[in-house]
Amino acid sequence: MKKSRSPRFPFIPLPQAVRLLTKLSEAGVKKDFAPHEAMKALDFSSMHGRAIKIFAAFRAYDLVDKSAGASISERRFSITETGLKILEASQNESVRMPFLQRAALSPLTFRRIWERNAYVSEEELEQRLLNREFTENGAKRAAKVYAKNREFANLPELSELPANLPERGPKTSRENRGCSPAGEGNQDQRQRMGLNLPLSSGRAMIPAGITEEDFQLLMQTLRLWKDRLIAG
C-alpha cells in the first residue's frame, strides 16, 4: 500500500532554526508572544504555509513552548530554557553543545533515528526510512534534515540520550495501541513489542521488526562498545 504521509519531523534543520531564533531574539520577541507576532518579526506577513512549518519546528526542537501560566486556549509562547541557553552561549561552543544536542533530539522522530541509525550515511538512512513509515519525499527530506542536525550538534559523540527530553512528535506504535506495561498482556503482544532482556543493571529492549542490516549494526556496535559497557 502506498504511504500517503510520513511521521512528523521538523521542516527545517536545526542550524536554520537557531539562526531564525537568534533573529527573533534580536527583534525583542522572547517572552509571552503570539505565533503571528513571532513570524512578523521574521518578515512573514501571516501564519500560513512556510511560517506555520517554521513555528512548528521551533516547538519540535524545544526552542519555543507555551508561556508559563497560559491557559489551554491561549496561544502565547516564550523561548524555552534550551533556546535561551543556545542563544546566550553563541560564542562558547562547549557550553552550547549540550543544549544543541538536546534540541536536535527533542523531536521523537529524530530520537528514534539516533537510537537505531546513529552512524549510517544520509543515503542509507533514506533507504531505511523508506522501509518504515515514510513516503519517498518524506524519507529524503527527513534524512537530509537529520544529517545536518547530526553534524551541527555533534550527535555521534553522545553515548546516551540527554535526560528528561520533551515528548515532541507522534507516539510510538505501542503507545497508540494502548499496550499494557511489560509483563502484562498476551504473549503475541509481547512478541510484537520485541525482545526485553533482563540484565543485572536493568533491562535492554530490542524492538521487533528490525532488518538484517539493523541486526548486524547492533552486533557490531555491541562489540565496539564492549569495554565501555562491561563493569570493571
Q: Please count the structural domains in the chain.
A: 1
Residue 190 falls inside a structural domain: no
Does pLDDT of 1 surpass 60?
no
Cα 102 to Cα 107, 154, 164, 211: the distances in Å are: 10, 11, 9, 28
> What is the model's pLDDT at position 189?
39
- Sequence length of the chain is 232
pLDDT confidence bin for 212, thresholds 50/70/90: low
Compute the distance between CA of residue 18 and CA of residue 22 in angstroms, rounded to an integer.
Answer: 6
Report in angstroms the alpha-carbon separations of 183 from 186, 193, 196, 202: 9, 11, 10, 15
The pLDDT value recorded for residue 218 is 75
Of 27 and 207, more confident: 27
| 79-93, 116-130, 154-168, 183-197, range with greatest mean pLDDT | 79-93
Residue 125 has pLDDT above 60, yes or no: yes
Cα dihedral 218, 172, 160, 185 sign: negative
Q: What is the pTM of this model?
A: 0.70
Statement: residue 220 has pLDDT above 90: no
Helix (H, G, I), strand (E, B) or coil at 207: strand
- Tens digits of residue pLDDT in 41-82: 999 988 888 999 999 999 999 999 988 876 666 788 999 999
The region of weakest confidence among 22-26, 93-97, 145-149, 179-183 is 179-183
Domain presence at residue 196: no
Task: Check residues 193 and 102 and name the one with the higher pLDDT.
Answer: 102
Torsion sign across C-alpha atoms 205, 206, 209, 214: positive
Q: For the chain, what percent of residues have pLDDT higher than 90?
A: 48
Least confident segment among 3-12, 33-42, 47-56: 3-12
| Domain-located, residue 4 | no
Residue 45 lies in a domain: yes
- Give pLDDT tens digits for 153-190: 999 888 889 888 887 655 444 433 333 333 333 444 33
Would 185 be classed as within a structural domain?
no
Residue 178 within a domain:
no
> Is residue 6 domain-resident?
no
Q: What is the mean pLDDT of the chain?
A: 81
Look up the domain containing 108 and give its range. 14-157
Query: 215 lies in a domain?
Result: no
